Amino acid sequence: MRSGPSRDIAEFEIDDRVAVGQNVDGETTLRLSAPGAELVLSLNGGHIQSCRIGGGSDDLLWMSTERPVDPAKPRRGGIPVCWPWFGAHQDDPALPSHGTARTSAFGVTDTGADAEWTWAMLSLLDRSRLPAAYAGADLQLHVRVGPRLIVTLQTTNSGAQTIPLTQALHTYFNIADIADVAIDGLAGCPYADALDGLAIRSHDGPVNFAGEVDRIYNTQGREITLCDFGLSRTIRLASKGSLSSVVWNPWVAKSERLGDMGPEGYRRMVCIETANAGADVVQLRPGQQHRLTADLSVGPLSKA
């Protein structure tokens, strides 16, 4: 276990369990390894960029092969941290979409490993672009990898004003083909349709894809299952501290507008985001703490 302030990130390395490296974009990374599992995260944005669990050979996460068109955005994919607001800022559209954390420097505060798990704790270092309303907001990112992947965003309000917090772990799941997946657990759950002025709708049965989908479901902590028939696996997504889940695939036209999805990239990814988004605003009072947790596991396709 390594903890406490450290000048040199190498002090957080642990044998074959925690290693410092660099990614293709020249960012400093931490590689966490555990029996049957491995994860890579970038200190730029606390951005988890790759993860394998359950002894599987297929990455849990999709990452674009292209650099972002807008250098102010992270390379698309993995688990971007959307904080301290989700989507466009409600008062100032000039502020970065999905907040400032995903393009801000994080520092390592602790690492550790036991027989099954390896973990790292990071804190947001660069708070320079946060608007005044968020002056008291501190952010820690806890990542645990082993039999499952457990990611937690912990927000502490150390200021004197209530902070209106929306947030997401904007997870891009790696899939074989968007036309050959089903998302279970959302039947009957009301959602705001971002493609139709946030009209409130619901549906029966699983979510399948035949075009762009961009929905904020009022899930209230329901478990969600992604069935990937092409990769013959089921990904279970449990959550804590999350009132909403966002399901998104850009399909063809939006992918072309985004410009950083790579050829047919939209076919290989689907976002299921553990969030407090849309109307689900957390009013964090002075001294309060909020934790948003995504708990991911992988298994064989459940028999239909």
Residue type, 101: A
Which burial class, exposed, middle or buried, applies to 135 when counting CB atoms under 10 A from its CB (0-12, 13-18, 19+)?
middle
When asked if residue 273 is in the footprint of ligand TA6 (CB under 6 A), the reply is: yes
Q: Is 68 in the site for ligand TA6 (CB under 6 A)?
A: no
| Residue 59 in contact with ligand TA6, rule: CB under 6 A | no
Smallest distance, Å, CB 15 to ligand TA6?
A: 36
**Which CB, 52 or 98, lies closer to ligand TA6?**
98
With vertex at residue 290, the alpha carbon angle to CA 288 and CA 292, rounded to the nearest 5 degrees, is: 180
**Nearer CB in complex with ligand TA6: 103/118:** 103
Choice between 234 and 255, CB closer to ligand TA6? 255
Task: CB nearer to ligand TA6: give 79 or 145.
Answer: 79
Q: Which residue has the tokens 């909403």?
A: 244
Copy the structure tokens of residue 188: 């009957």
- Can residue 98 be called a binding residue for ligand TA6 (CB under 6 A)? yes
Could you give the CA distance from residue 27 to residue 226 in angstroms, rounded to a whole number? 31
* 186 near ligand TA6, rule: CB under 6 A: no
Residues in 69-88 at the binding interface with ligand TA6, rule: CB under 6 A: 87
173 touches ligand TA6 (CB under 6 A): no
28, 97, 154, 297: residue in contact with ligand TA6 (rule CB under 6 A): 97
Candidates 34, 150, 183, 246: give the one binding ligand TA6 (CB under 6 A).
Answer: 246
Listed in sequence order, the residues at least 6 apart from 7 whose beta carbon sits closer than 8 Å to its beta carbon are none
48 counts as binding ligand TA6 under rule CB under 6 A: no
Q: Does 248 bind ligand TA6 (CB under 6 A)?
A: yes
Which tokens is 140 given?
């820690």
Nearer to ligand TA6, 59 or 273 (CB): 273
CA dihedral 199, 204, 208, 214 (to 10 degrees): 20
Residue 194 makes contact with ligand TA6 by CB under 6 A: yes
Q: Minimal distance in Å, beta carbon 260 to ligand TA6?
A: 8
Closest CA to 213 of 230, 188, 196: 196
The residue within the footprint of ligand TA6, chosen from 62, 63, 213, 214 (CB under 6 A), is 214
Q: Could you give the dihedral angle defined by the CA atoms of residues 141, 146, 232 and 49, in that order, rounded to the nearest 10 degrees?
A: 40
Would you say how long the chain is, in residues? 304
Q: Does 156 interact with ligand TA6 (rule: CB under 6 A)?
A: no
Identify the three-state secondary structure at position 4.
coil
Bond preceding residue 74 cis, omega within 30 of 0: no
Rounded to whole angstroms, how far apart are CA atoms 154 and 131?
19
Contacts with ligand TA6 by CB under 6 A lie at 87, 97-98, 170, 194, 214, 246, 248, 258, 271, 273
